[in-house]
Chains A and B, each alone.
Chain A
Amino acid sequence: MDFDLNEEQRLLKDSIDGLLTDSYDFESRKKYMKEKGGWSQAVWGKLAEQGLLGLPFAEADGGFGGGGVETMIVMEALGKALVLEPYLATVVIGGGFLRHAGSDAQKAAHLPGIIDGSKTLAFAQLEKNSRYDLFDVSTTAKKKGDGWVIDGEKFVVLNGENAETLIVTARTKGDRRDKSGIGVFLVPANAKGVTKKSYPTQDGLHAADITFTGVEVGADAVLGNPDDGLALIERVVDEARIALCAEAVGLMDESLKTTVEYIKTRKQFGVAIGSFQSLQHRASDMFVAAEQARSMSMFATMAGDFEDAKERSNAIAAAKVQIGKSLKFVGQQAIQLHGGIGMTMEAKIGHYFKRLTMIENSFGDTDYHQRRVADGSGLI
Chain B
Amino acid sequence: MDLAFTREEQAFREEVRSFFRDNVPPDTRRKLVEGRHLSKDEMVTWWRILNKKGWGVSHWPKQYGGTGWTSVQHYIFNEELQSYPAPQPLAFGVSMVGPVIYTFGNEEQKKQYLPRIANVDDWWCQGFSEPGSGSDLASLKTKAERKGDKWIINGQKTWTTLAQHADMIFCLCRTDPSAKKQMGISFIVFSMKSKGVTVRPIQTIDGGVEVNEVFFDDVEVPIENLIGEENKGWDYAKFLLGNERTGIARVGVSKERLRRIRDLASKVESGGKPIIQDAAFREKLAACEIELKALELTQLRVVADEGKHGKGKPNPASSVLKIKGSEIQQTTTELLMEVIGPFAAPYDVHGDDGSNEAMEWTAQIAPSYFNNRKVSIYGGSNEIQRNIIAKAVLGL
Give the tally of cross-chain contacts (CB within 8 A).
Answer: 136
- Residues of A contacting B4 with CB < 8 Å? 1
- Residues of A contacting B303 with CB < 8 Å? 1
Closest residue on chain A to residue B279 by CB atoms? A374
A284 lies within 8 A of B2 (CB):
no
Also in contact, A281 and B1, with CB within 8 A (given A4-B308, A373-B289): no
Docked complex Cα distance between A356 and B303 (Å) = 30
Docked complex Cα distance between A263 and B4 (Å) = 40
Also in contact, A322 and B294, with CB within 8 A (given A1-B300, A263-B396, A291-B320): yes
The A-contacting residues of B in range 69-118, CB under 8 angstroms, are 72
Docked complex Cα distance between A270 and B298 (Å) = 38
Answer yes or no: A35 CB below 8 A from chain B CBs. Answer: no
The B-contacting residues of A in range 286-320, CB under 8 angstroms, are 287-288, 291-293, 295-296, 298-299, 301-302, 318
Answer yes or no: A269 CB below 8 A from chain B CBs. Answer: no
Docked complex Cα distance between A321 and B291 (Å) = 9
A3 lies within 8 A of B1 (CB):
yes
Closest residue on chain A to residue B297 by CB atoms? A295
A2 lies within 8 A of B301 (CB):
no
Docked complex Cα distance between A279 and B393 (Å) = 14
Docked complex Cα distance between A322 and B293 (Å) = 10
B283 lies within 8 A of A280 (CB):
no
B293 lies within 8 A of A379 (CB):
yes
Answer yes or no: A91 CB below 8 A from chain B CBs. Answer: no
B interface residues, how many (CB within 8 angstroms): 48
Closest residue on chain B to residue A306 by CB atoms? B3
- Residues of A contacting B386 with CB < 8 Å? 280-281, 284-285
Answer yes or no: A380 CB below 8 A from chain B CBs. Answer: yes
Q: Which among A302, A373, A378 is the interface contact of B2 at CB below 8 angstroms? A: A302
The A-contacting residues of B in range 279-338, CB under 8 angstroms, are 279, 282-283, 285-287, 289-295, 297-298, 300-301, 303-305, 308, 317, 319-320, 323-324
Answer yes or no: A129 CB below 8 A from chain B CBs. Answer: no
Answer yes or no: B194 CB below 8 A from chain A CBs. Answer: no
Tell me the interface secondary structure of chain B in the complex. Answer: helix
Answer yes or no: B258 CB below 8 A from chain A CBs. Answer: yes
Answer yes or no: A55 CB below 8 A from chain B CBs. Answer: no
B286 lies within 8 A of A287 (CB):
no
- Residues of B contacting A285 with CB < 8 Å? 386
A contact residues, range: 35 or more
A298 lies within 8 A of B394 (CB):
no
The B-contacting residues of A in range 70-115, CB under 8 angstroms, are none
B295 lies within 8 A of A292 (CB):
yes
A288 lies within 8 A of B383 (CB):
no
Also in contact, A1 and B72, with CB within 8 A (given A284-B394, A380-B255): yes
A291 lies within 8 A of B298 (CB):
yes
Docked complex Cα distance between A263 and B6 (Å) = 45
A-side interface residues toward B, CB under 8 Å?
1-5, 9, 69, 260, 263-264, 274-275, 277, 279-281, 283-285, 287-288, 291-293, 295-296, 298-299, 301-302, 318, 321-322, 370-371, 373-375, 378-380
B-side interface residues toward A, CB under 8 Å?
1-6, 9, 72, 255, 258-259, 262, 279, 282-283, 285-287, 289-295, 297-298, 300-301, 303-305, 308, 317, 319-320, 323-324, 383, 385-387, 389-390, 393-396
A-B contact pairs, 22 of them (CB 8 A): A1-B303, A4-B1, A264-B396, A280-B386, A280-B387, A281-B386, A281-B387, A288-B324, A292-B298, A292-B324, A295-B294, A296-B290, A298-B297, A370-B290, A371-B283, A373-B286, A373-B289, A374-B279, A375-B282, A378-B286, A379-B289, A379-B292
